[in-house]
Structure 1
Amino acid sequence: MELPVLNQAENIFYPILAIIGVPANLLAIVILSRGKCGLSKCITLYLVSMAIADLMVLIFEVILYEINDGYFPYSFLSLTTMCRLIMLIIMTSIDCSVWLTVAFTFDRFVTICNLKLRAKYCTEKTVSLVIAVTCILSFIQNIPMYFPYDPREIIDNVPWSCILPSKLFTLPVWVAFWSVEPIITPFVPFLLIILFNALTIRHIIHANRVRSGLRGSNTDESVADQEVENRRKSIIVLLAISGSFVLLWMVIFVCFVSVYVMDVQLLATDYNDPFTIAEQTGYMLRCLSACTNTFIYSVAEQIQGRI
C-alpha cells in the first residue's frame, strides 16, 4: 500500500536533515572547542553547549525516532520501553537547546548593553553554572514524559512504539502538565528572545546616533564608519535570529495551543488529517532549527565580536 504523501516527505526530509545537520554540528563543536575562532571562552561555551544540544535533538529525534520509525519500525529501538526513554531524551534535548538559546541571547544583551553587569555576569564560571542548571532543570521538567505513553500496537504480547492515550487530555494532573508545557517551551522563550534582541537593537541604534553626533561635521561623511556598519549588520543578524526561531517553532506552537481549544489529539496516526499534517510539519520545522541554530549564532558572534 502506498504511503501517505506526508510519510513520503518525512522519509526523504529526515535522512537529508541527518546527513547535513549531524556533521555540521559535530564540525562546529570541534572547531569551537579548539578555541581558535577569536571568540571569548564564555561565547565558546555557549555555542558548544548549544551545538551539543542540537546534535542530541538530531540524533535522538531525527535518527533514533523518526528515521528508525520510518525505515526500521520493528527494531529494538521501537519497543515501547525504548520509545519512552527516547521521548524523554528528545524533550530534554529540545528544552536544553531552546533555553540555552535564551541564556545566550541574554548574555549578548548584557555584554552589549550593560558594561557594569558584564564584568560580573559574563564570566566563564557563571556561564558554566548557567549551562549546567539549564540542562538539569530541563531533565527534571521532562521526567513525567517517560510515563504517559501507551504502546501503539501489541504483537505477540510485545508492545511496540508509543502513543499518547486520548484519556490523558482529560485527567486533571496531565491537563495541568500539558497546559504548562507549551508555555515553558516555546512561548516564554519566544517572548524573552524577542525582548532581549529588541532591547539590544534599541541600544545599538541609540549608540549609533550618539556616535554620529560626536563625529559631527569634522569627519568626512564619504568615509564609511566601520563601527556603525558593524552595528547595522548586528541588527540584521539579531533579527534573523529572532525570526528563524519564531518561524521554525510557530507551527508546532499553534498545534500545542489547538489541543486546548479544539477536539484534537497530539501524535495522532491519521496522516490524511489536516491537524496531523500540520503537527508533523511543525516537528520537521522544529528539527530544522537544530540544524540552523549553530550557523546563525556563529555568524552573529563573528559580526558582534567587532562591535
Structure 2
Amino acid sequence: MERLKWNEASAIVQSPYQLVLLTPAAIHGFDPKAKAEFRIPSLRGVWRYWWRTLQSETNHRDLLAKEEEWFGGTRETKQQSPVHLSMAGVMEGTKRENMLPHRTSPVPVPALPAGGEVTVTLSVRKRHEQLLPAYEWHFQYMLHLAGFGQRSRRGFGAVQWTGHQWNNVGEYAKSLRTVLEHIGVAEAFSFAEDGCLVARREDIRTLHPVLSAVWIGEGKESAAEVTRAFGKASHEANRYGNLGFVQGSKKLSSPLWCTVRKIGNRYHPIVTEVRSGGSRYSEPRYERDRNRFLEIVGVRI
C-alpha cells in the first residue's frame, strides 16, 4: 500500500491505485449510446456491493446503518463517508465492442478498450488515518474479484491493479486469503491453492448476497478467450434459468460473478459465487448447472 502525505502538516492522507483494463468496459456515462466513461460513482457502487458480500448481518436496517457509516448516506446515519475516491483526468471510449462474443449476432455498445489505464486515489483526512487500512483491504478484496459496467458478471470490465503481480495461481490464492485475513473474516472459509480457492464453511441466511465460494480456471492466452468462454457457459449451462434470467419485468440476478485476472503470462477466469437466503441453492439442478458452467470455463471440479 503506497501512502502519500503531502507534508507533515497536510490534512489529507492518500493511497493511489493504478488500474489497467484487461477486457473492454461498457460503463454508462452521460450519454451511454454515444460513449462509455470510467466514473467514480460506478466504482463506488461496485465497492459497496462487494463490501456487503462480507457482511453477515441479517437485519437489513442494521446493515444499512453500518454501510452508511462506511460509505455515507442519508437514510439511517445521515453522514459523509470518511473516505473519498477520486481520479485524475477523464477516461472515455466511443469504440463499439461486442458484449456477446459467443453469439453469431453481435451486440456492439460503446466501451472503454482493453489496455486503458486509470489511477484511482483513496483519501481520508488525517484524523481518520487509522481507518484507511480497513478501507484499503476491502478495496483490494474488490480488485481480486470484481468487474465494472455492463456484462461485468460475465468478464467485461475486468481491471487489474498494477500492485497485483502474481506469478502463479498459488500466489493469487495466497493474496486473496491474506486480504480476507486482514479484513477479519477468514475463519468463515476454507482455502485451497487451485480449483475452489475459497469456500464458506457454513451457510448463513441473509437478505443480501454474501461470499460463498471462489473458483479459478485454467489460464488462456488472451483475456478475450476467457470472456468468450464465459459467454458460452452462460448459454449452455443456464438453459433453465438457474444461474439468472430476465423475463419481462421478472429478473433473477446470477449468483456467479465472473472476471479475468492476469497471472504470470496467462489470463485466468475467476468465478465468485454469492448467495442470499433462499432454497434455490439447495436444489440439485442449481448445483448441476453451476458445475457445468464451471467446467466450460476451465475450472477443475
Q: Do both proteins adopt the same fold according to a TM-score greater than 0.5, normalized to the shorter chain?
A: no
Q: TM-score, normalised by structure 1?
A: 0.29
Compare CA radii of gyration and give the structure with the larger one.
1
Q: Which is richer in helix?
A: 1
Q: Which is richer in strand?
A: 2
